[in-house]
Amino acid sequence: MEHLAHWLRTSSFTVVFTGAGMSTESGLPDFRSQSGLWRGKDPMQLASTRAMMENREAFVEFYQMRIQGLLSCKPHAGHEWLAEWERRGFVHGIITQNVDGFHQAAGSLAVAELHGSLAKIRCLDCGTEYAHTCYLEDQGTICACGGFLRPGVVLFGESLPQAQVDQAIAWTEQADLFIVLGSSLTVSPANWFPQHAKERGAKLVIVNQEPTPLDAWADEVIQKERIGDVLQRVGQSLGE
């Protein structure tokens, strides 16, 4: 923890990358574990562009379930520490695979959402955005214009939002400290960002319950600890 605290103090540009492990500490399920959202389900039948057009009832039910789960949870201490460190100038950008919006809810402003956000709903026809709670209301999938409302997440069959990717790349290339929180780093582009930062000379810290393919590249690896607890101890080391 002392190493990480020292690097935070001395870094000129720190980037944090968060994955599903950041959200599971708030009580949200991940996707691929034994208790994950995809257990016994076919993602292409529920969370794809094809499902949205051809299997709309199941598509809506799946995202209603996800929104209900989101409303039952909230940001944890780890989210709050990151927001505080952004305010104090220790953290300069957060790149996240998560769609829960908890970083913003905790107060973080510089967030690149690679997979979109479940906190937003938008019309397929006119693009009008609504709060995600509208999806749980009667006729909550119909826009004022009559168009279909869809969640603001990236579906299977869609590209990642280019503006968010470009922002994430720009931050990664500026980083002299890159911190991974709760990502297995087994899929692209999740594994590209920390690797690229390391190749450009950044210190790399990985905090994850299980080993990752990039552990051998990292300057510090912390496993089998809760992210909130780790950040709490680092905050104490920073004297806050």
Active site residue 6: no
Sheet with 220-223, strands from edge to edge, namely 111-113, 93-96, 14-18, 177-181, 203-208, 220-223
Q: In whole angstroms, give the CA distance from residue 17 to residue 85.
A: 14
Tell me: is residue 126 an annotated ligand-binding position.
yes
* Cis preceding linkage at 189, omega within 30: yes
Task: State the DSSP code for 148.
Answer: B
Tell me: is residue 145 an annotated ligand-binding position.
yes
Q: In whole angstroms, give the CA distance from residue 121 to residue 101.
A: 13
Q: Which letter, b or e, does each residue of 17-40 get, where b requires 16 or more Cβ atoms within 10 Å of its Cβ? A: bbbbbbbbbbebebeeeeeebeee
Q: Exactly one of 3, 115, 132, 196 is catalytic; name it.
A: 115
Tell me: is residue 143 an annotated ligand-binding position.
yes
Dihedral of alpha carbons 201, 202, 203, 209, sign = negative
Tell me: is residue 123 an annotated ligand-binding position.
yes
C-beta neighbour count of 89 within 10 angstroms: 9
Residue 86 corresponds to which tokens in the numbers above?
């952004």
Tell me which residues are annotated as active site. 115
Annotated binding-site residues for Zn(2+) read 123, 126, 143, 145
Q: Which residues contribute to the annotated binding site? A: 123, 126, 143, 145
